[in-house]
A and B are shown apart, each in its own frame.
Chain A
Amino acid sequence: IAGITQAPTSQILAAGRRMTLRCTQDMRHNAMYWYRQDLGLGLRLIHYSNTAGTTGKGEVPDGYSVSRANTDDFPLTLASAVPSQTSVYFCASSEGTGGTYEQYFGPGTRLTVT
């Protein structure tokens, strides 16, 4: 059982380029999340999806978009990358919504925008 996988593991991207971070889970979880983690700021929610076909904005959604075409996949797209989007990105999933359900995190994608 893989749990949650993310790709790529790391990426260096030129500013202005488009980039999609991939996230796939095999636990049939309803909810999925994208976070960014920056030194001194902790984890911050970018976008979430409570179930396939729905998405919502988190704390820091600007510059990012997501889609949830099916249960397993939740890609995060940076339409035109900027240096401030340099961060480590974590995808997570949970069986349901709300804090009662444990979130399972992927291994992260380290993104550097130059």
Chain B
Amino acid sequence: KNQVEQSPQSLIILEGKNCTLQCNYTVSPFSNLRWYKQDTGRGPVSLTIMTFSENTKSNGRYTATLDADTKQSSLHITASQLSDSASYICVVSAWGKIIFGKGTRLHILP
């Protein structure tokens, strides 16, 4: 069964600290992996997309990595800011089917 598992479910860090969110998937055949950011009360917004041949992609302070062999991805946030408080959703695509993870809720404390 195609699945996308994210960890941790929630995370609390202090402003200025770094953090890493994890995404493991069993989707096959793999097409691409996308990370979305969802602010409270808003719809998700795409941060990065990676295909099979890409193992890292950056968007400002956000860096996503992909290991297609182990079927793992991570989203690293550098020098966190209060505005990074949000849910982060990992989405994997395969043969036109799009599978959403349940998300990681990140809280940044001042």
Binding site for B on A (CB under 8 A): 4, 40-45, 90, 92, 97-100, 102-103, 105-108
* Residues in B neighbouring A40, C-beta threshold 8 A: 102
Q: Counting CB contacts under 8 A, is B79 at the interface?
A: no
Q: CB-defined interface of B81-110 with A at 8 Å, one 1/0 digit per residue?
A: 000000001011110101011110000000
**Interchain CA distance A90-B45 in the complex, whole Å:** 12
13 further interface pairs, Cβ-Cβ under 8 Å (given A42-B103, A99-B93): A4-B43, A42-B89, A43-B89, A44-B100, A90-B44, A97-B96, A99-B32, A100-B31, A100-B93, A102-B34, A102-B49, A103-B46, A105-B43
**Interchain CA distance A103-B34 in the complex, whole Å:** 10
**Interchain CA distance A10-B45 in the complex, whole Å:** 21
* Residues in B neighbouring A108, C-beta threshold 8 A: 41-43
A42-B101, A42-B103 given; A106·B43 CB < 8 A? yes
**Interchain CA distance A42-B9 in the complex, whole Å:** 11
The binding surface of chain A is classed by DSSP as loop
B36-60 contacts to A, CB under 8 A, are 41-46, 49
Smallest beta-carbon distance A25→chain B, Å: 12
A99 pairs with B100, CB closer than 8 A: no
Smallest beta-carbon distance B74→chain A, Å: 18
Name 23 A/B residue pairs within 8 A (Cβ), A-sorted: A4-B43, A40-B102, A42-B102, A43-B44, A43-B89, A43-B100, A44-B100, A45-B98, A90-B43, A90-B44, A97-B96, A98-B98, A99-B32, A99-B91, A99-B96, A100-B32, A100-B93, A102-B34, A102-B49, A103-B46, A106-B43, A108-B42, A108-B43
